[in-house]
């Protein structure tokens, strides 16, 4: 996948996995549209990457959990006259705890960001990729998408949606010039668990964003349609193939139960 001089849009680009996508793609010569809520962090990153790699980096500060935000983002890209070759739907967050005790407003925002924004942005940017017969969409799912998650019920359901959605579109577009790739990391050393508000939602050894993004880009270049980094994560994602649904819920629920 040659991105030299082409445009990549990364949501959730101010830190963690999104920031690593931006850094590693800038190194490959891709221009960037960086999207997140924190304008100051995005400006610092854009300035650094532009100077270091000689690429263009545009900053769009938006809260993609707001219903109108995806269309606003698309319109701003149109005004900037950038054709997005690689769309990375990375922005997302989780909630943790007994379902009825977690803020309903916060869970609604979670669904809007993790699901609705992914669908809307894909729907908005896909047609131009199809017209060019060229483009790629990376949707960041999670190992959470492979089985229900007691105490993180909404998050697990959103990531199951992203995984199913991406797989379906990968098949639909397999002969139309556009690739779809579901990236499914496990516990990663980012601010994710600070946002969740608990470390008890962390399962297994944390990987580094640098390593897993590098591996994801390699797997994408090899033509894979999804990727789970780490053998432990991969085996965990396959858990439902080897145990009953009730057993899976008991195991995962035991891991995630609030302490």
Active site residue 155: yes
- How far is the C-alpha of 206 from the C-alpha of 192, rounded, in Å? 11
- How far is the C-alpha of 56 from the C-alpha of 189, rounded, in Å? 28
Neighbours of 244 (CB within 10 A): 9
Q: Which of 74, 155, 226, 234 is catalytic?
A: 155
In order, the DSSP letters of 208-254 are PHHHHHHHHHHHHHTT-SEE--SHHHHHHHTGGGTS-HHHHHHHHHH
Residue matched to tokens 């998650």: 149
β pairing state of 135-140 and 31-36: unpaired
Q: Has this prediction a pTM greater than 0.85?
A: yes
Residue matched to tokens 């790699």: 53
**What is the predicted pLDDT for the residue at 235?**
77
Q: How do the pLDDT tens digits run along the chain, 259 residues long?
A: 799 999 999 999 999 999 999 999 999 999 999 999 999 999 999 999 999 999 999 999 999 999 999 999 999 999 999 999 999 999 999 999 999 999 999 999 999 999 999 999 999 999 999 999 999 999 999 999 999 999 999 999 999 999 999 999 999 999 999 999 999 999 888 777 767 666 655 566 789 999 999 999 999 999 999 999 987 877 777 777 778 888 888 888 998 999 8
**What is the predicted pLDDT for the residue at 242?**
74
β pairing state of 31-36 and 178-183: unpaired
At residue 143's C-alpha, the angle toward residues 140 and 147, to 5°, is: 125
DSSP-H helix ranges across 2-116: 16-27, 39-53, 69-80, 104-111
**What is the predicted pLDDT for the residue at 108?**
98
Six-digit token string for 73? 């983002």
DSSP 43: H
Element (H, E) at 39: helix 39-53
Q: For residue 183, what are the β-bridge partners?
A: 140, 227
**What is the predicted pLDDT for the residue at 24?**
98
Residue matched to tokens 């669908």: 119
184 touches 235 (CB < 8 A): no
Domain 7-256 has CATH 3.20.20.140: no
- How far is the C-alpha of 159 from the C-alpha of 147, rounded, in Å? 10
- How far is the C-alpha of 148 from the C-alpha of 128, rounded, in Å? 35
- How far is the C-alpha of 163 from the C-alpha of 146, rounded, in Å? 8
């Amino acid at each position: 996948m040659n991105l030299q001089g082409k445009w990549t849009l990364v949501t959730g680009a101010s830190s963690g996995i999104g920031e690593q996508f931006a850094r590693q793609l800038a190194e490959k010569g891709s221009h960037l549209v960086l999207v997140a809520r924190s304008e100051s962090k995005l400006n610092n990153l854009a300035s650094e990457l532009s100077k270091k790699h000689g690429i263009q980096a545009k900053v769009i500060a938006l809260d993609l959990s707001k219903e109108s935000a995806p269309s606003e983002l698309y319109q701003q890209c149109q005004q900037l006259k950038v054709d997005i070759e690689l769309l990375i739907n990375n922005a997302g967050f989780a909630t943790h705890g007994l379902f009825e005790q977690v803020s309903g407003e916060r869970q609604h925002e979670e669904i809007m960001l993790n699901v609705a924004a992914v669908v809307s942005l894909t729907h908005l940017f896909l047609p131009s990729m199809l017209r060019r017969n060229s483009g790629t969409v990376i949707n960041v799912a999670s190992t959470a998408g492979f089985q229900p998650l007691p105490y993180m019920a909404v998050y697990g359901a959103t990531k199951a949606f992203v995984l199913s959605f991406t797989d379906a579109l990968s098949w639909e577009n397999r002969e139309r010039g556009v690739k779809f790739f579901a990236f499914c990391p496990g516990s990663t050393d980012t601010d994710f668990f600070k946002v969740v508000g608990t470390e008890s939602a962390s399962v297994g050894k944390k990987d580094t964003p640098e390593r897993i993004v590098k591996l994801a880009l390699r797997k994408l270049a090899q033509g894979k349609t999804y990727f789970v980094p780490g053998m432990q994560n991969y085996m965990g994602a396959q858990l439902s193939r080897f145990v009953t649904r009730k057993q899976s819920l008991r195991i995962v629920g035991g891991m995630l139960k609030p302490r």
